[in-house]
Amino acid sequence: MTSRFEGVAIIGVGLLGASLGLALKKNDPSLSITGVGRTLASLEIARRRGAVDQITLDVREGVARSRLVVIATPTSSVIPTLDLVLAAAPPDAVILDVASTKEAICAHAQRVCGLPRRFVGCHPMAGSELYGPENGTAELYSGSVCLVEKDAALDRDAREEVCALWESAGARVADMDVRIHDAILARTSHAPHVTAAALALVAGEYGVPAEMVGNGFRDTTRIAESRAELWRDICLENRWALAETLSSLQEWLHRFEAYLTASDGPGLEQFFRDGAAARARVVKQ
């Protein structure tokens, strides 16, 4: 019996790619996965950890007989990788990506893929400040949400297969409209990463005694330790929505500063009260 996802290729065996391989193989140890990467070193780690079976540096070779291709490269490489995959994979292959920005990638896919489209944009909301195949785990997606593109142009079977893949990795699938994805993620993820880094930089300007660092600082800056290259790419990719979000953030900070310099107690209190209500609304809906 061949397994459901026979013929999987995972291009990019970082945290997300390696974890997906581990999760799929945990579910079905007989599944054979081809890992494609830029360096043998990380591919070897992924293979040693059991995330992939065969490895290759050549995208064309890796996807030539694949039914399902996962593009888990850095954000900035998704588009050129998709072009390579489309040229080399079987015409009925289902293709997905895992990048944190979606607008440019999905717009490109709309232009270059035939109809109905068998490339499905995905964004698993399961990152971490850790990275690399050495940190991959079969449980990374367990209990997380994976946003899966919803669009009339998509091949229905292809989308169903992609949803089944994420569900078998332990994620809950949620429909995503790629036209609003990037604007919202700028607010819920990209700007928080910038702020975490900025707060760390501000604290780092001082010699801070270890005992003066509490849980508030630890939590607000945890994601500052994420991978710099990854976040460079995400920010470049989503620079207009992120710039708009940072302007809005600065406006709130200016408003706070005005209350502060005026010693406006009610203004400060209302700021924190509105912040608490907004947080509750966004997180606990």
What DSSP string describes 116-134?
SB-EE-EEES---S--SGG
Given the rule CB under 8 A, which of 39-47, 89-97, 113-121, 209-217 is the region that contacts a copy of itself? 209-217
**Is there binding between residue 272 and a copy of itself (CB under 8 A)?**
yes
Q: How many residues bind a copy of itself (CB under 8 A)?
A: 89
Q: Residues 96, 8: contact at Cβ < 8 Å? A: no
Q: Which two tokens stand for residue 251?
A: 């406006």
- By C-beta, is 33 or 176 nearer to a copy of itself? 176
Q: What span, in angstroms and rounded, lies between the C-alpha atoms of 261 and 91? A: 64
**Is there binding between residue 257 and a copy of itself (CB under 8 A)?**
yes
Q: Which of 60, 65, 179, 273 binds a copy of itself (CB under 8 A)?
A: 273
- By C-beta, is 138 or 235 nearer to a copy of itself? 235
**Is there binding between residue 269 and a copy of itself (CB under 8 A)?**
yes
Contacts of 33 (CB under 8 A, 6+ apart): 8, 9, 10, 21, 24, 25, 51, 52, 53, 54
Q: Of 161, 122, 129, whose CA–CA distance to 145 is shortest? A: 122
Q: Residues 135, 207: contact at Cβ < 8 Å? A: no
By CB under 8 A, the residues from 149 to 188 that bind a copy of itself are 174, 181, 183-185, 187-188
- By C-beta, is 27 or 195 nearer to a copy of itself? 195
**Is there binding between residue 199 and a copy of itself (CB under 8 A)?**
yes
Least Å from the CB of residue 245 to a copy of itself: 6
By CB under 8 A, the residues from 124 to 143 that bind a copy of itself are 125-128
Contacts of 44 (CB under 8 A, 6+ apart): 55
Q: Of 135, 113, 117, whose CA–CA distance to 126 is shortest? A: 135
Binding mask 37-76 vs a copy of itself (x if CB under 8 A, - otherwise)?
----------------------------------------
**Is there binding between residue 225 and a copy of itself (CB under 8 A)?**
yes
Using alpha carbons, list the distances in angstroms from residue 2 to 23, 143, 176. Answer: 18, 27, 31
By CB under 8 A, the residues from 72 to 101 that bind a copy of itself are none
